[in-house]
Amino acid sequence: MADKSYDAIVIGAGHNGLTCAGYLARAGLTVKVVEARDKVGGAAVTEEFHPGFRNSVFSYVVSLLNPKVIRDLELHKHGLQIIDRTGGSFSALDVDNYLWMCRDQERAKKELAKYSKEDAAVWDEFDARLVEIAELLRDVALETPPNIGGGWGDLWTLLGVANKSRKLSPQQQATLIELMTMSIGDYLDKWFEGTAIKGELGFEGVIGNFVSPYQAGSAYVLLHHVFGEVNGKTGAWGHAKGGMGAITQAMAKSAESVGVDIEVNAPVKQVLTEKGKAVGVELADGRVIRAKLVSSNLNPKLLFTQLVDDGLLPREFNRRMRSWRSQSGTFRMNVALSELPKFPTLAGEENPAQFLNGTVNVCPSLDYIQNAYDDARKVGWAQKPVISMCIPSTIDDTLAPEGCHVASMFCQHFNPDLPDGKSWDDVKEDVADLIIDTMNERAPNFKASVVGRQINSPLDIERKLGMLGGDIFHGALHLDQLYSMRPAPGYADYRSPIPGLYMCGSGTHPGGGVSGLPGHNAAREILKDVKRRRV
């Protein structure tokens, strides 16, 4: 039985799917969004996980959400408010020592000087080079990558990018090449001597990336996380008031205001094709929804290995999708706290709370990250996990009862594929205890203050969100899976081998993070094709 027909169907109501749908509807198309879960938002959702305590469940901080997407979709008009974090990053090195890289650059350099005067002296140059390259990437992120082996249009696009790169100084060009090819460990070893700053920044190279800090290409992930902005401040990070679900709720309201029909509890069984062209979807309940085109927000491997007839795919593309690398190494927790963590190393500070409204990290060195990775490869999880913790209730009082707090804990390294036939369902509670104990070593009141917790192992992330291997990026951000290679050579322009089937998720350029850019860029290419057909 066929449902109503639309101009476009979007599979998945994550932030990129909602972005794509919003742009298409604003251009006059009739749009249907189908979402497998019982709520919109994908990884950007807010839930009450303990009575009176609410928090972002998966993604947890804002920076990459593009200002153009915010403006075009009028997200502030639909309720989005982004709060600046002033605290920067507080690294709890051990019970007695810390490194605080706050937003005040002069204070940050004084912190570095406690451990190395040389590191403090080079900080401005190091930071400036990242910002310079991030400016280039910010422009590239808004553009459609040229297809390898494409025609004149793709050649002109490639030449345009090359022209932008030529405008960089020789030193800037060298920095770009280094950041694209070097390991985060080697890159930081080149700049710094202090172990604390290398641990702090090294985490940025492995976040959501199940690799050693000395794997070639991992320096790019550091760059990927600095080309965002919050409220006009480049490289800054903030919180969405009400949690990350506030972003996708605003996107859903924006889309519905221009006529988008959003349906939850509507998993897709298959993409329907006729004469080799996508013509709609069949839902798990047997309903058929027809459309002139389909846009998928799913991991490309999930889309092309489970929802599409692989007989319609070129052999090389099929091989690429089956070998698409999706592994994140992430274990994600929320905890409800009766009080703020108390770090003995801050006991002499007049206002210790000021250190805690940014990010609290347990990542004291590159060796610490390497050991976490080695453990995960050998036994399944880090025996001393890397932890990045945010306490958004310090700046958003809507999340917890008065006097109490919620904390997001983003942890690595945890192998999606456990050895010896173990299952994450059997060990995740023990692993959660280990994570809490690790934080408790630095803040001895932490464990006793936990009154509730929400656990998402790599397997939980895969099950709930369709993020294969628990991969928060829908595909590893490695050099051979970036730009014109994302998700496959010849198909980096958001189109697929099947006419009428498009990709708008994080498995396309510019990759993961709550940016909205894959959805934005895909909608632009879709509308180009729609215009051509109408002319």
Mean pLDDT per 10-residue run, the chain (535 residues)? Answer: 83 98 98 97 96 94 87 96 84 92 88 95 92 82 83 52 66 86 95 95 88 91 69 69 96 98 98 96 97 98 96 96 93 97 91 88 97 96 96 94 96 94 94 98 97 96 93 90 94 97 96 93 98 76
Please name the residues in contact with 477: beta carbons below 8 A apart, sequence gap of 6 or more.
Answer: 208, 209, 220, 221, 224, 511, 512
**End-to-end C-alpha distance for the chain, whole angstroms:** 33
Any idea which residue has 């628990």 for tokens? Answer: 470
- Strand-pair partners of 337: 405, 450
Asked if 276 contacts 282 with a C-beta cutoff of 8 angstroms, the reply is: no
What pLDDT is stored for residue 535 in this prediction? 44
Pairwise CA distance, residues 393 & 508, whole Å: 33
Phi, psi torsion values for 16, nearest 5 degrees: -70, -35
Residue type, 16: N
What pLDDT is stored for residue 149 in this prediction? 65
What pLDDT is stored for residue 32 in this prediction? 98
What pLDDT is stored for residue 225 in this prediction? 65
CA atoms within 13 A on the CB side of 193: 10
Burial of 186 (0-12, 13-18, 19+ CB in 10 A): middle
Q: How do 229-230 and 46-50 pair as beta strands? A: unpaired
Pairwise CA distance, residues 140 & 127, whole Å: 20
Pairwise CA distance, residues 65 & 229, whole Å: 8
Pairwise CA distance, residues 372 & 329, whole Å: 10
For helices 15-26 and 245-257, angle between their N-to-C axes, nearest 10 degrees? 20
What pLDDT is stored for residue 153 in this prediction? 57
Pairwise CA distance, residues 192 & 119, whole Å: 5
Summary count for the chain: helices (H), strands (E):
17, 20
Grouping H, G, I as helix, E, B as strand and the rest as coil, residue 227 is coil
Pairwise CA distance, residues 371 & 375, whole Å: 6
Asked if 334 contacts 55 with a C-beta cutoff of 8 angstroms, the reply is: yes
What pLDDT is stored for residue 161 in this prediction? 56
Pairwise CA distance, residues 339 & 25, whole Å: 46
Grouping H, G, I as helix, E, B as strand and the rest as coil, residue 403 is coil
- Strand-pair partners of 298: none
